[in-house]
Amino acid sequence: MLGNGKRLHYLCQDETRIGLKTETGRVITPGGVKPKVSVQWPREAFWLYGVVEPFVGWQFYQEYDHLNSETFQKFLDALSLELGKDMALIQMEQACAHQALALIWPDNLIPIFQPAHSPQLNPIERLWQHIKRQWKGENFSSLQQLRQRVQLELAQMSSQLISSLTSYDFILEALFHEALFYAAS
């Protein structure tokens, strides 16, 4: 709590490219049996921008056709409106779109840039892996069909599932110690 009923959120942000190219991966088959799957390679895709709050499993997503500073600005503005009077620290990678000089950061959003080349530090990466696993081996005839599937998967994700996927121990420990500090002061 920040006073005046405002809350401070710790959010993890990232984008992922979702396209018609078939998601593939390992499968278990009987010995000597080679798995067969139809794979398509079209280049049509869209970007899903998202944030999660690991401790409580809160989520916010928006879809865009591109990954650039203009669409990132739209995402930040929408996120700021969604949070209302609350404040948020946002952990993110050091992508060019995130550090563009043209960005105007809303007053209630504070960026925290993680070290370069360290996606494993950002819990939302696990969420992207989880949702893409849901349609592994499937082919979609159009981007609209894929969009509908993505929306269905996101809508079915509970806050408990999101929290279990994204709650890294080092984040929870830091948030717990911070809460104790504020409780004592």
Distance (Å, whole) CA 169 – CA 47: 28
The two three-digit tokens of residue 64, written as one number: 């865009």
* Listed residue (31, 32, 97, 89) closest to 68, CA to CA: 97
**Are 130 and 31 in contact, with CB atoms under 8 Å apart?**
no
The two three-digit tokens of residue 161, written as one number: 């599932």
Cross-sheet strand order for the sheet of 8-19: 58-64, 45-53, 8-19, 87-92, 109-113
pLDDT in tens, 123-153: 999 999 999 999 988 899 999 999 999 999 9
CB atoms closer than 10 angstroms to residue 11: 23
Distance (Å, whole) CA 166 – CA 181: 23
Q: What is the pTM of this model?
A: 0.83
Q: Is the pLDDT confidence value at 45 over 50?
A: yes
CATH number of 8-18+42-184: 3.30.420.10
What type of residue sits at position 141? S
pLDDT in tens, 59-84: 999 999 999 999 999 999 999 999 99
The H or E element that residue 125 is part of is: helix 124-133
